[in-house]
Structure 1
């Protein structure tokens, strides 16, 4: 919703100010379809050239997150801590019984209690692979932490691609606007024998290209790219939380301490309160019993 409000503010302030100053929309509206075809088409073509099919699909899938915001909400962080609590508790009580949960998480009674987390392949694989490694005596906390850090970093780098791709388009749009404006000037020079009122409209139409390129770059595409970058960084905390808890587990801290380490490493605006989490963990213990 806030994204839509921002877009509305941009259009109202820019065009409202233009109209309030005595500007007329006629020239802009007449030239806009042709200028947008040139600038938007060239920008789309450059985007396709500079990205492979997978990256294009990824960008198209994630563009809606400009309006939806981060994927993981405060409830999801609390659920993740509860899930990790159950898994660590199970591993310490009966390591053999844990195997059925980490080998087939989609059929696990533990994982299926947290459907939103179960839908995320990266989070599930991160949890299961780390717990599986620990069960194979690959339990050097420093080695595991390094492996997890590299894996999370690679995943984060991949998630940042849509924002980089859009930012490249935003950087190119002002120049493409100039290209469209130059073509408009060329068209105008072909009508140099026309009276001033006609030349004025032709020149005004050419300048719409420069305006449109700059407006799209700094008013829409650039902010979209920045928002996707911010959302990606926000969601990365979810996977960092998994790393913190599982590494603490390898240091043989008590289960409650492992979960508290994760809670305290959760960003403040999505961090569950201590008492709130304690109540949730008590409910987990009660259900398990």
Structure 2
């Protein structure tokens, strides 16, 4: 919703100010289809040249993040901590039984209690692969931490590609607007023998290209790229929480302490309260009893 409000504000303030100053939409509306096709088409073509098919689809999907916001909500962080608590407790009680859950999380009764987490391949694989490494006696906390850091860095680099691609388009749009404006000037110079009122309209139409390139770059595409980057960074905290809890587990801290380490390392706006998390953990303990 906030993204839609932002778009409305941009249009109202820019074009409302233009009309209030006595501007006419006639020249803009006449030139807009031609300028938009040149600038938008060139931007789209440049985007397709610089990205493969998978990256283009990835970017198209990520545009929705501007309006939807972060995928992971505070309740999901609480559920993740509960899931990790159950798995850590089971790993210490019966490592053999744990293997059934991490080898086939889709049929695990523990994972099935948290469907949003189970549906996320990255989160599920990160949890299962790390716990599997621990069961294989790969239990040096520093080595596991290094492996997790590299994996999270690679995942983050991939996730950020759509934001970088959008920002590249935003950086190019002003220059493409100038290209469209230059073409308009060339057209105008070819009609230099026309009366001043006609030449004025043609020059105004040419300048629409410069306006449109800058307007799209700084009013929409650039902010879209920035918002996508912010949402991706916020969602990355979910996967970092997995790292914090499982590394704490490797240091042989009590299960409750491992979960509290994860809770404390969660950003304030996403962190479940101590009371809510404690109540959720007590409910799990009652079910297990």
- Whether TM exceeds 0.5 here: the answer is yes
Using the TM superposition, give the Cα deviation of residue 286 of structure 1 relative to its aligned residue in structure 2, in angstroms: 1.9
Match of 1:185 in 2: 185
CA distance in 2, matches of 1:23, 1:202: 16
1:102-251 counterparts in 2 under 5 A?
102-251=102-251
CA distance in 1, matches of 2:269, 2:287: 28
CA distance in 1, matches of 2:286, 2:204: 72
Deviations 1:153-175 (A, max 9, x none): 10001100000000000000000
Using the TM superposition, give the Cα deviation of residue 283 of structure 1 relative to its aligned residue in structure 2, in angstroms: 1.2
Using the TM superposition, give the Cα deviation of residue 251 of structure 1 relative to its aligned residue in structure 2, in angstroms: 0.4
Match of 1:6 in 2: 6
Match of 2:79 in 1: 79
CA distance in 2, matches of 1:226, 1:270: 20
Three-state SS of the structure 2 residue aligned to 1:117 is: helix
Match of 1:69 in 2: 69
Deviations 1:6-27 (A, max 9, x none): 0000000000000000000011
Match of 2:55 in 1: 55
CA distance in 2, matches of 1:116, 1:288: 22
Three-state SS of the structure 2 residue aligned to 1:23 is: coil
CA distance in 1, matches of 2:169, 2:141: 42
CA distance in 2, matches of 1:105, 1:56: 31
CA distance in 2, matches of 1:198, 1:53: 45
CA distance in 1, matches of 2:19, 2:111: 57
5+ unaligned residues in a row in structure 1: which ranges? none
CA distance in 2, matches of 1:31, 1:117: 50
CA distance in 2, matches of 1:285, 1:113: 14
Using the TM superposition, give the Cα deviation of residue 275 of structure 1 relative to its aligned residue in structure 2, in angstroms: 1.0
1:30-49 counterparts in 2 under 5 A?
30-49=30-49
Three-state SS of the structure 1 residue aligned to 2:22 is: coil
CA distance in 1, matches of 2:232, 2:25: 38
Match of 1:94 in 2: 94
Three-state SS of the structure 2 residue aligned to 1:270 is: coil
Using the TM superposition, give the Cα deviation of residue 268 of structure 1 relative to its aligned residue in structure 2, in angstroms: 0.5
Three-state SS of the structure 2 residue aligned to 1:269 is: coil
Match of 1:252 in 2: 252
Three-state SS of the structure 1 residue aligned to 2:269 is: helix
5+ unaligned residues in a row in structure 2: which ranges? none
Deviations 1:249-288 (A, max 9, x none): 0000000000000000000001011111100111112223
